[in-house]
Structure 1
């Protein structure tokens, strides 16, 4: 795997992993891995590379042009917005919401009106469904990566069945049996937030 210790990592960029065949070629931010892939391809002939975001398992093309994220790019910074007098904005975004009349009636009767009541309801729902949403997203990310990277590999269906049963002992055993060490470790990392021992 190529080293990236000397690169500057932006906390706002998503972390990614690039595979060459079934081994890890690079890990880092999207900017970093694009640069590593570019330099590697310039130095030698490479096997087909495949790049994935670490948070959701989505695949992207590390060789496609991406001027906004090239290291040392000369994109001008966005100008600071002009501050106007008056009440500061709260960062809210206006969208259309369709509800039944009785729902609107109840919302408008709440302290602060419909918008405040809706925001409170959403925050409560996010808090209450947080653990279940975390597990679902982790399972989806793991399956997404497995399907893209290993969909034709031996053991794929057995691994997926163990994943959705949340039989982690069987899941890990099958990964260790069918996959390379680097690939198995990456898949285990993708699934970590669905496991009962995971702590925020």
Structure 2
């Protein structure tokens, strides 16, 4: 399990039924305290952010299981963060108190002419173009992340369900209506979790 400073939100399934949701610590505690050892072997816990299964060693007491999780998620990450905090920032040219930093931009003459002719001048126009490109890029990244999360979970839990491959194609094609139609008759808990993971995959359609 990868180290993280933020609690991992996850969902546990037993026999394709949703058993517990919440932080990893909460889900693990609920599972460990509620299920017999024979059922623990059937538990599958998925990361709500990535759709990937989380490997948990349930041997021993609940405290021992949680201690192992804590040791796996701690250590190097925090020390690396502290080292970065102690690094001195480089001196910046521009108006740092206003959050403005100067840098070199190389453009063709016709490109400079176009920038200078825009309302507000070159700097204002460049900032607007960059902000828009970042917005579009972040939106596309969220779509890809949602597609991958849904894919990982569907591969693990829905590979033998009706119209699985067709649903995957609809997911990556961004065909929201067809995707939901194809998974409509799936096992309810599986279907609902797939919808949860895939929600952001169709967000560009609304923008």
TM-score range, shorter chain: 0.5 to 0.7
1:157 counterpart residue number:
165
- Residue of structure 1 aligned with 2:189, choices 182, 192, 200: 182
The separation in 2 between residues aligned to 1:173 and 1:140, in whole angstroms, is 20
Matched, 1:191 2:198: yes
Q: Which has the higher helix share?
A: 2
The secondary structure found in structure 1 opposite 2:18 is strand
Shift of 1:126: 4.5
Q: Is the 8 A contact 1:38 1:63 kept in 2?
A: no
**CA displacement, residues 63-110 of structure 1 (integer Å, 9 cap, x when unaligned):** 44452546xxxxxxx89x79xxxx9745xxxxxxxxxxxxxxxxxxx9
Normalising by structure 1, what TM-score? 0.62
Give the counterpart of 1:25 among 19, 26, 38: 19
Q: Which runs of 4+ in 1 moved over 6 A?
A: 197-200
Distance verdict in 2 for CA 1:41–1:162, change over 3 Å: same
Structure 1 residue 127: deviation in Å?
A: 4.2
CA contact (8 A) 1:146 1:187 kept: yes
CA distance in 1, matches of 2:21, 2:14: 12
Report SS of the residue matched to 2:21: strand
Distance 2:18 2:197 in 1: 15
Shift of 1:150: 1.4
Partner residue in 2 for 1:172 = 180
Return the alpha-carbon distance in structure 2 between the equivalents of residues 172 and 22 of structure 1.
Answer: 19
Gaps of 5+ in 1: 1-10, 71-77, 91-109, 114-119
TM-score scaled by structure 2? Answer: 0.60
Q: Distance in 2 between matches of 1:184 and 1:88?
A: 47
Question: How has the CA–CA distance of structure 1 residues 170 and 187 changed in structure 2, closer, same or farther, with 3 Å as cutoff?
Answer: same
- In structure 2, the residue matched to 1:49 is 43
CA shift, 1:161, in A, is 1.5
Aligned counterparts of 2:20 and 2:57: Cα–Cα separation in 1: 13
Q: What do residues 38-75 of structure 1 show as CA deviations (whole Å, max 9, x unaligned)?
A: 11224x742711110001111112344452546xxxxx
